[in-house]
Amino acid sequence: MVERSPIFEETVRHYREQLARVPYAEKASVLGVTVEGEEALVPLLMETYRVSPRGIRDSRGIVPPHALQVLLYRYLLSAPAFEPQGEDWVTYKDFKDAAPFVGGFINNTEKALIRRFGDKPEELLAACQKVGGYPAGWELSYRIVYRFDLLPKVPLVLLFNEADEEFPAQCTLLYQKKAQAYLDMECLAILGWHLTDSLIEAAGTSYRSIM
């Protein structure tokens, strides 16, 4: 069994203490979550997590990986006062503060999906459907244009073309620009990383790179 780093434990403890002081129930409608007592029920992809100052558990009572704990705590702690407006979509690198994370993001998401599905678009399509994705309804010159409602207010869209004789495979993840009102750049990167891991696992590969 892999031991949890003391730094990870200290980080989680810090967020739990913060959450105990934040009236997150008042932001439930802005976040799109349900609050039962001290627990916020936060949907994330195909799972719903119970988040409270006492900790985080999934529907089976299992504690999620450290990165997902950070993501879920910050989603509650960083809630804006009002729901931002606008429907513009951008790549991760287009966010103003994303530069320090762009290299890791691309390697853990878009390049990872190309490595696994570069010449297997049907497998990727099946995986998209298996984890709850659905056609975005956009008329674009991509083989796959699928939307994922990962967090209630933070969707992602996957654009994918397989490799052919003339061009290499192409993969891009898009976020709504207003996503930055809900999460910082590290957490937006974690969100795309979690989607990538989930798609690869849904395709039958034992794969979990997120920690």
- Identify whether 211 is part of a domain: no
pLDDT (mean) for 30-45:
96
Tell me how long the chain is: 211
Evaluate if residue 1 carries a pLDDT over 80.
Answer: no
| Residues 115, 157 within the same domain | yes
Strands 170-176 and 134-135: unpaired
Express each pLDDT in 87-134 by its tens digit. Answer: 899 999 999 999 999 999 999 999 999 999 999 999 999 999 999 999
- Identify whether 52 is part of a domain: yes
Express each pLDDT in 132-162 by its tens digit. Answer: 999 999 999 999 999 999 999 999 999 999 9
- How far lies 85's CA from each of 82, 110, 155, in Å? 9, 27, 14
Domain count, the chain: 2
Q: How confident is the model at residue 5 (pLDDT cuts 50, 70, 90)?
A: low
Q: Which residue has the higher pLDDT, 141 or 208?
A: 141
| Residues 93, 166 within the same domain | yes
Q: 211: how many CB neighbours lie within 10 A of its CB?
A: 12
Rounded Cα gap, residues 102 and 108, in angstroms: 10
| Residues 72, 93 within the same domain | no
- pLDDT score for 209: 82
Domain containing residue 158? 89-202
- Identify whether 150 is part of a domain: yes
